[in-house]
Structure 1
Amino acid sequence: MAELTLDIAGDVVAACRKSSDEIVAAFGRAFEAQVEGLTIGEAATHDPAEPPAGFDGPGLAMLFMFGDRGAIALLPESAGLLPEWYTQPDATGAAKLDTLAQELGALVMPASHVAAATHAFRVESLAEALSRGGAAADAVHVPLALQCGDRQVRLSLIWPLATATDLVPESAAALASTAPASSTAELPKHLRSFLKVEVPVSVLLATQKQSVQDILGIVPGAIIKFDKSCDELLDLVVGDEPIAAGEVVKVGDKFGLRIRHMTLPQEQFVAVKLAAASSF
């Protein structure tokens, strides 16, 4: 993993400029807002004595983890872009925030720096969160401005944070701290070789049976309706066997699947027939 240092400031600004349209679209989708453009400022040293407007109040923190260090994007609540639901999001809202953090982490950082994990959460004080995260005295600050109608919404991208793990929500930290699976080094050699075999992985949107007559009637422009709800999770399939379920996410300009739970193999029972007792 590439080290998160001050030296990548120019690369971060370049990445933001290259991905400006996608950043605008990501915020528009997450908050169902009319975001029309993005202005990227020059990288400078963050001055805690003169923080950006709104840092003394609550807001949305989006954390991008690179090992134990992190970068953070801070959006003040006072800017007026954040919806009311973000303070106590339901499952759908939480998924939107998580997706936004994941997308933003991929868009604002150079290709050499891929975040190991991303988190999005509300904090009571942006300035206090930045301090608790261990922002370096010479931390880099890249100011971004989202154009929303006739007003600009300020977003601050700051790094490195030496104690970024202290900001990770308890639920996410508990999930990350679960015991890892046994090492593959403990497996027999022939099984370790098997792990290198590539198998097709697909995402199953929906299935249903249709008559041959209906299938023969399919033409360009026809719409086929499935019984599956748009809110249902999609299956991740390996070798015709579903192994997990998740929801669609957009990572940059790519399609992705955020895994929500694993799917246990279907149990198969074989009836055991006892031979009739022999008579003597």
Structure 2
Amino acid sequence: MSELTPEIAADVIAASQAGAEEAAGALSRALDREFTMEVGEATTLDLAAPPEGFGGPGLAVVMTFAGEGAVAVLAESTGLTPDWAPEPDPTGESKLATLAQELSMLLVPETLMADDFQAAWVTDAGEALARGGVADSAAAVPITLKSGDDQGVLWLVWPCGSPGEVLAPAANAEEAPAEEDDAPPQPTPTQPAASGGDPKPRIFDFSQLPPYSKSLLKVRLPVKVTLASKRQSVEEVMALCPGSILSFDKQCDAPIDISIGDQPIAQGETVKVGERFGVKISQMILPAESFKALRSDKAG
């Protein structure tokens, strides 16, 4: 496996050029406009004197590879970021999560496999990269994005020693420290829409969960995608050999089932992500509700 160092700049450029069309498609789907992209030559990033248009607020995509990170930054000043990006709704969050996953496979060599990928808005790209441990010797590749008459640069920067800190909230010295409370902080749901409209989905800020609950978010669970299934007799199974064809009752365009363990959680459709297989979630499946009837015995 390649290491995420500045020395692999040529490999990163080659991978980005090979995946340029699909990466442009991923950006188009996520940012609600059509893009084309052109990969430039690698350079060295100097946070003290960043390239023109690099700093300020913008969208940051963080990709983590065995503890080291690469960050793709698209500044708000390019005019290519959508208005909803600073405060995305659930649909926007899903778009950004999908974008981060796709770019983690399309902008780096195939020998690198991301074990984490996130995308979110940052108030200052330079400060975010500094928090993430990006040194002045970091490599940077400018990727020119074009959408109609608009044009801007998506900067791909690596390595990042503390990728988990890039999207962490910036410290604000003016804010008073939170007072400790005996009760653990509770997640804050969004408020319902105005009267007469549909209520907004309840979005929880996981950063507000108590430590003992946060630890549960790190538990790794098996995710299973089932294309189709059937039952056969032992005799039929024993007769299987190379060249055998299994037919299923399921239609080719029917939704694919996604499960955590044996619990169905969603349905989706197959997609191609680079040269890899993927599933685009189209519907979430709510857990089955369980009711127990209450009965009061009447005195005879």
Q: TM-score by structure 2 length?
A: 0.64
Q: Alpha carbons of 1:129 and 1:259: their partners in 2 closer, same or farther (altered >3 Å)?
A: farther
**SS where residue 160 of structure 1 aligns?**
strand
In structure 2, the gaps of 5 or more residues are 170-204, 230-250, 293-300
Q: In the alignment, what sits opposite 2:279?
A: 256
Write out aligned runs for 1:53-92 (5 A). 53-92=52-91
Tell me the equivalent position of 1:47. Answer: 46
Tell me which residue corresponds to 2:106.
Answer: 107
Quote the RMSD (CA, aligned, Å): 3.9
SS of the residue aligned with 1:78? helix
Could you tell me which amino acid in structure 2 is paired with residue 26 of structure 1?
A
Give the secondary structure class of the aligned counterpart of 1:178.
helix
Q: 1:245 aligns with which of 257, 261, 266?
A: 266
TM-score, L = length of structure 1? 0.68
Counterpart of 1:78, as a letter, is S
Q: Following the alignment from structure 2 to structure 1, what is the Cα–Cα distance between the partners of residues 89 and 124?
A: 22
Residue matched to 2:23:
23
**Whose helix proportion is higher, 1 or 2?**
1
Q: In 2, distance between residues paired with 1:135 and 1:181?
A: 28
**Pairwise CA distance, 1:125:** 0.4
Alpha carbons 2:259, 2:265 under 8 Å: kept:
yes
- Aligned pair 1:178/2:200, yes or no? no
- Distance (whole Å) between structure 2 residues aligned to residue 200 and residue 40 of structure 1: 34
Contact 2:67 2:163 in 1 (8 A): yes
- Measure, in 1, the Cα distance between the counterparts of 2:19 and 2:45: 23
Structure 1 residue 44: Cα displacement: 1.4
Code of the aligned partner of 2:25 = A
Aligned-partner SS, 1:84:
coil
- Where does residue 202 of structure 1 map in the other structure? 227
d(CA) in 2 for partners of 1:181, 1:70: 21
Which position in structure 2 is the counterpart of 1:38? 37
- Work out whether 1:236 is the aligned partner of 2:261: no
Shift of 1:256: 2.0
Gaps in structure 1 of 5+ consecutive residues: 183-194, 205-223, 270-280
SS in structure 1 of the partner of residue 135 of structure 2:
strand
**Could you tell me which amino acid in structure 2 is paired with residue 255 of structure 1?**
G
Quote the Cα distance in structure 2 between the aligned partners of 1:90 and 1:130: 25
Deviations, residues 186-211 of structure 1 (Å, cap 9, x unaligned):
xxxxxxxxx9xxx983379xxxxxxx
Cα deviation, residue 76, structure 1 = 0.2
Which amino acid in structure 1 is aligned with residue 115 of structure 2?
Answer: A
Taking the aligned partners of 1:203 and 1:153, their CA distance within structure 2 comes to: 44
Deviation at 1:53, TM superposition (A): 2.5
* Separation in structure 2 between the aligned mates of residue 155 and residue 21 of structure 1, nearest angstrom: 15
Structure 1 residue 129: deviation in Å? Answer: 0.5
Question: CA shift at 1:151, angstroms?
Answer: 3.2
Q: How many residues align?
A: 228
Q: Distance in 2 between matches of 1:159 and 1:19?
A: 18
Identity %: 37
* Native 8 Å contact 1:132 1:166 kept in 2: yes
CA distance in 2, matches of 1:77, 1:203: 44
What's the offset of the Cα at 1:69?
Answer: 1.7
